Structure formats: C-alpha cells, structure tokens
Amino acid sequence: MKICYLLASAMPLLASAATPEPRGLKGVARHGNEEERQLQDAEPRQDIDLGEIFGFGCFSQVSTVQVENKGPVAMKDLQVGDKILTASNEYQPVYSFGHWDPTTEARFLQFHTKEGTVLEMTPEHLVFEADNNDPVRADSLQVGDVLRGNNPQSSHTIAKIDSIQREGLYAPFTEEGTLVVDGIVASSYISLQHGHNDVKLQNGASLGISQHDYVHMGIAPLRLLCLGVSGRYCSTDYYTSEGMPFYAAFSVWVNLWVNEQSSMVQMMAFGVISLLTGACLAAETMFGASRAPLALCAMATAMLHVLVHRRRSQKNA
C-alpha cells in the first residue's frame, strides 16, 4: 500500500508539471512559415469554442446558489467546501472551481423568466431545460423555452434574453456536476464545441455522448484528487493566474488540440481520453470519489504483482 500513497502524493506534482504556462492560455501556438500559416487558415476546421477560446463558461458574480445552513449566497462569496444545492435536491460540497476569476470582464446572457427569475451565464455554459435530460448551451435557448427548476413542480419560462458585460467568472464544481443557480438547474460545465450540445467529429458525426457527460468524465481525475487525496490542491490558492485548476488548464489544451484534428485522429484521441478518464469515473462510481484513488492504486499494485510474478515464473521455467 505504500506504492498507493506515493502515487497519490505525486498526482498534484504530475498535474502541475504537465500544465503549460498559465498565461499561454490567452492564445494559440502556431507553427511554420508564413505560407504554411496561410494554408492553415485556409483549411476548413470544426468550429472551436472552448469558452470562446479560454474566456470560459461561467456564472456572473451576482448569480446565487443555495448554501446549506446559510441560504442564498452570491457566486463572488462562494468558497471551496461550501455545500450547495444540486439537481438531485441534495447539498454537495464545492470541491473546486472550474474557473474563479473576480476581475476578468466577460459577456453574459441574461435570461429573464415569466416567474421573475433572472439567470446570468456565459453563452457556452450548459443549462437544463424542463423536458431534456441533457443540458444545452445557453446561447441555443430562445424566448419561450422552459428551464428546469429545483423541484418537479417548478419551471421557468424565458420571457426575454439580454446580453451584458460584467466582471467576475465563477464555475463551481460539485461531485455530480450540477448546481441550482437562482432557482434553475444548471451544469457545472461548458460545451467545448461551438453550437453543439453533444460531442461531434470534424465530419459532423456524433459520438453519442453529451458535452456535459464528456466533461464530467474528463474531470473525474480532478474529483479524485480533490475528494480522495487532498482538498488543499483544489483551493483557489493553487489555481493558474487565469483562475483555473492546473488539471483543468491542461485539459483545455488537450481538447483544443483534439478539436483541430481530422475525424480519424479525433476518434483515436477520444478513445484514449475515454479509457484513461473513464477508468477514474468507473472507480468513482463503484467506490465513491473519496475511496477511488486508493482502490485504483490497489488494483494497479495487484496487477503489477501479477506481472512480476509471471515474469519470474517464465524465467524459472
């Protein structure tokens, strides 16, 4: 079991080492001479969003969540560790923020409902409609659409949509990946591809997984680190200068690269991502996020022991 504890201790260091310089998130690296760059620009590409290239989907500072034993709390006052109301009508701790940036100004869509609710989120953030199991992009909503409330009897019909500029970007992560914001059920995540609520290849083919489920699976290693190893690595003190956890920043670069590739390369990349992060999600489902890291380490240790024993047996034969 010592191996498990050593691996668990090394996870934050590996995440930090794999992450590029935070300020590099402001642009996209381009290579080659001028003629090659012109050819790159001329090639058709799948629309890439990634939070309108690293603006990232979030809620505004005035958006509120229900905190256990406190009541309504504004996003700007929310902290890691606070237990907030989720889609399952349970209070779950905020184990990390996908984005926590009090100073950056961003464009938010402001949804006014007939019931008097006002919800503010960036265009690529995901929110649940009343009759849809998978959340949709905020910028796909129209007047008349009905949003899901925090109980089966409540719903919110969109009466007007405005666009505003406001400082502050906040995206709380919960274990189930949902939260109730101003009485409306929303995802903790964004859509990584412009105009899509599910994951698509360059050729337009759907992979049959929603953007919400794909990101939730991809974030599984971060959940295991925060909830199963040490929560201190997921506090805002350990974020990049853009206000993102190191693992989230690294994931952004991976998905940016994947979204620029051909459909064949995308298929292979999505397969590798699903294999690695899906193993973490499966362990989380079976053992819970707090026990999953030790369970994974125990299984890896057992497999290593079997391989070593088999190798020795072959040598002695």
| 49-60 tens-digit pLDDT | 444 444 457 999
- Residue 95's Cα: distance from chain center in Å? 12
What are 264-302's pLDDT values in tens digits? 999 999 999 999 999 999 999 999 998 888 888 888 888
Q: Are 135 and 119 in contact (CB under 8 A)?
A: no
Q: Provide the pLDDT for residue 114.
A: 96
Q: Do the Cβ atoms of 118 and 112 come closer than 8 Å?
A: yes
Q: What is the 3-state secondary structure (H, E, C) of 131-162?
A: CCCCCEEHHHCCCCCEEEECCCCCEEEEEEEE
The number of CA neighbours under 13 Å toward the Cβ of 317 is 6
The confidence score (pLDDT) of residue 127 equals: 98
d(CA 113, CA 130): 13
Q: For the chain, state the CA radius of gyration.
A: 21
Query: What is the identity of the amino acid at 15?
Result: A
So what's the pLDDT on residue 317?
66
The pLDDT, as a whole number, for residue 36 is: 40
pLDDT for 258 equals: 93
CATH class of domain segment(s) 2-316: mainly beta
Separation of alpha carbons 294 and 300, rounded Å: 10
Q: What is the dihedral of CA 221, 226, 227, 232, to 10 degrees?
A: 160
Q: What does DSSP assign to residue 21?
A: P
Answer positive or negative: Cα dihedral of 135, 138, 141, 143. positive
pLDDT at 301 (0 to 100): 87
pLDDT along the chain (317 residues), means of 10: 39 38 34 40 44 63 97 97 96 96 95 96 96 95 96 90 96 97 97 92 94 96 93 87 90 90 94 94 92 84 80 74
The encoded tokens of residue 285 equal 């489902």
- Type of residue numbered 79: Q
Token pair 């935070």 is at which residue?
A: 22
Distance CA 218, CA 238 (A): 20
Domain positions in the chain: 2-316
